[in-house]
Structure 1
Amino acid sequence: MKNRNEFDQALPVQVRLPVQWGEMDAFGHVNNTQYFKYFESARIAYFNAVGVMKDMQDKQLGPILAETSCRFKRPLVFPDDVLVGAGITEYHDYGFMMRYGIFSLGQNAVTSVGSGRIVMVDYNTGGKVKPDDELLAAIRTLESVQ
């Protein structure tokens, strides 16, 4: 993702967040841990869009974040607003791989990209479960809207 158009094409769910003064560190830019919080906001918005949060309440089936990564391309600083996006790149037996991106509106640039491996679990047993057909269909519909 090199520009806003590619960002929008790759990430069907996006949230707009303000960069807060308190998110910056002693080096004068947003602390690297904050990027994972931004990713979390986009991930939860994605899960809401495809009904995962409702399944957690109704069926006690939901996601866990098994691993995550971030590639920092440009520093973020206050003041700014960012778009944080999420999308699905791969399907696995017990979950999927998510892609994330952060786009700085102030810099008009993609500032970071990341990924997260999601595993679906039964919160009653703690065991892995396969995503059901309804969830997979909702993801495929959302991803095809791009």
Structure 2
Amino acid sequence: MARYTYHCALRWSDMDAFGHVNNARFLTLYEEARVAMMFTGAESGGLSSFREGVVIARHEIDYLRPVDYGDPVRIDLWVSEIRNSSFVVDYELFDDDKLASRARSVLVPYDLTAGRSRRVSEAERAFLEEWSD
């Protein structure tokens, strides 16, 4: 299985009152990794259509252990499903090489001008398949 790996620095603002990464901030960390893959990674291969519109239809997160402030965390992500008008990205977040969280997002390509969802293009499908299991 091909996985995209992203190393994400933790910010002091990610912490909660207990000194751990706040549960809601995990979404931000996962977003950073996803944007790196779908924008930076895709654009380096000549694909820029994701930047034109993709929305989140669903998030699921499992918190397995607390993450403390310190070294960057590693996020591995991959595409587990590609449909005609949506796709699923799965993530694993590692702190000191220990699995701390798993997540899943359902994404929908979106036409921002028309204000509606659109189909996954052939070029997008080809890129997503590079990262699929």
Q: Does 1:72 align with 2:63?
A: yes
**Which of residues 14, 23, 26 in structure 2 aligns to 1:35?**
26
Q: Deviations over 1:90-146 (max 9, x none)?
A: 1122110110111112xx2010000101011111101111111111112212437xx
The answer to whether the 8 A contact 1:71-1:114 is kept is yes
**Which of residues 8, 11, 19 in structure 2 aligns to 1:20?**
11
The answer to whether the 8 A contact 2:47-2:123 is kept is no
Displacement of 1:78 in angstroms is 1.4
Identity value in percent = 22
Aligned residues: 130
Tell me, which stretches of 5 or more residues in structure 2 are unaligned?
none
Between 1:77-86 and 1:113-122, the stretch displaced more is 77-86
TM-score, length-scaled by structure 2: 0.86
TM-score, length-scaled by structure 1: 0.79
Between 1:16-25 and 1:74-83, the stretch displaced more is 16-25
| More helix by percentage | 1
Secondary structure of the corresponding residue to residue 32 of structure 1? coil
The 5-angstrom pairing of residues 27-106 of structure 1 reads: 27-48=18-39, 49-51=41-43, 54-56=48-50, 60=52, 62-105=53-96
In 2, Cα distance between the equivalents of 1:75 and 1:86? 20
**Aligned-CA RMSD value:** 2.0
Displacement of 1:56 in angstroms is 4.9
Tell me, which stretches of 5 or more residues in structure 1 are unaligned?
1-8
Q: For residue 115 of structure 1, what is the aligned residue in structure 2?
A: 104
In 2, Cα distance between the equivalents of 1:119 and 1:72? 25
